[in-house]
Amino acid sequence: MSVKKYLVLGVLLTLLAGLLIGCGNKDQDLNTVNAKEPAVPYTHPEAMISADQLKKILSQPNLTILDTRTRDIYEQGHIPGAICFNVKSLMDPNRRGRFTSPKLFSLTIREYGVNSSDHIVVYSDNYNHAALWFFLNMYGLNVQMLNGGLEQWLAKGYEMETGRVRRGNLGAFNLAGEQQKANFIIETATLAEALLQNSEGIAVIDARSAEEFSGRGHIPGAINITWDQLINEDMTFKNASDLKELFTDNGITPEKQVVIYSNNSIRASYIHFVLNRLLGYANVKIYDGFYLYWAREKTIVKGSV
C-alpha cells in the first residue's frame, strides 16, 4: 500500500474516532440533563401512617382510630373501629378559639374509651383532625396522622363500617397534672414583644383563607398560607422538596421562629404538622389567641400583602 493511501486511511480513522467520542459525550450530556435531583425525605415520616399501613394493623389490640368528622357523616361510613370524636372538645368553652385545659380534655376523651397508652391514628375528610393530632402530640402521646385522610382509604377500596362505635369502659387517660408545653404555644404578650424586638427573626403565618386574611384583617407582616397548598389532588401531602420550596419562597426558613394562627387553631395545626414533623423546623409555635385577644387588643391590617 502506498504512503498516500496510509495517510488517507489514518485521516478516516481519526474522524471516525472523533465521531464516536462526540456521540458518547452527547449521550453523557443528555444523561446529565435528564438526571433528577435525589428526593428529599420527610424529617419525621413516622408521624404519618398510610392507608395500606393502617389496614395491616386494624386488629392491633391497642389501636385507637379517631374520626373527627361530624356525627351524621361519620355514621354513614367510617374506617372499621373508628370512634367519632367531636373536635369542638379541644376548644376552651370559656375562651373562644383557645385550646382547652389538659384536665377538661382528659375528662372528655376518657368517655370515648381512649387510653393514654394507645397507638392513636386520627383522620377526617379535610383538615379537622390536625388539631387533635397537635393536642395529643403536645403531651407526648403516640399519635399518627392518616396521610390522605379518608379519601386515601376509599381510593384503596378498603372496607367501611356504618353506625357508631362505642367502647363500654372508660379510658385510662389523665393529663390533669400537665401544663401546655411552652415550646408549642405562644402567648399574646410574647408574640407582640418578639415582633417588636426581632421582626426579622420571626415569621408569622396566617392559616385562614385568603378572603379571611384580606377581608377580616391579619397580624401585620403575616404571610397567608392555606392548608390546601400543602397537599396533592389525592389529599396526600406534597413531597418534602415542594413543601420546602413553598415556605422558603415566602421567607419562612428553618432558623426563624415560626408562629402560626387561625381562628381556632385547627388550620394552624395542619401547617404546624408539616413544618415541624415533615420538614423538621424546630422552632414552630401556634398562637391560639388571635380571635379573642389580638383582634381586640393589638393592631390588625386588612388587604393582601
Cell triple for 253: 426558613
Using CA atoms in the order 150, 153, 154, 160, what is the torsion angle rounded to 10 degrees? -90
Q: Give Cα separations from 4 to 1, 9, 10 (angstroms).
A: 8, 9, 10
Domain-by-domain residue ranges, the chain?
A: 45-155, 188-297
Mean pLDDT of 53-65: 97
Hey, which residues does 286 pair with through a beta bridge?
A: 185, 260
Helices (H), the chain: 3-34, 51-56, 71-76, 102-110, 129-138, 149-155, 188-197, 210-215, 240-249, 266-272, 295-297
Alpha carbon of residue 220 to chain centroid: 24
CB atoms within 10 A of CB 290: 29
**Residue 63: is its pLDDT beyond 90?**
yes
Outline where DSSP puts E strands in 31-189.
48-49, 63-67, 83-84, 119-123, 143-146
Quick check: do 45-155 and 188-297 share a fold? yes
**Residue 151: is its pLDDT beyond 90?**
yes
266, 292, 290, 296: which is closest to 96 by C-alpha?
292
**Residue 292: is its pLDDT beyond 90?**
no
Q: What is the largest CA-CA distance in the chain?
A: 106
| CA separation for the pair 293, 187 (Å, rounded) | 10
Least reliable range by pLDDT among 24-28, 206-210, 214-218: 24-28
pLDDT in tens, 106-150: 999 999 999 999 999 999 999 999 999 999 999 999 999 999 999
pLDDT in tens, 259-284: 999 988 999 999 999 999 999 999 99
- Arch. (CATH architecture) of 45-155: 3-Layer(aba) Sandwich (3.40)
**pLDDT at position 20, please?**
44
**Residue 33: is its pLDDT beyond 80?**
no
Cell triple for 134: 397537635
Mean pLDDT of 241-249: 98
DSSP-based three-state secondary structure for 74: helix
| CA separation for the pair 98, 117 (Å, rounded) | 26
Mean pLDDT of 86-94: 91
- pLDDT interval class at 175 (50, 70, 90): confident
**Residue 35: is its pLDDT beyond 70?**
no
| CA separation for the pair 272, 185 (Å, rounded) | 11
Please, what CATH class does the domain formed by 188-297 belong to? alpha beta
Contact 121, 54 (CB under 8 A): yes
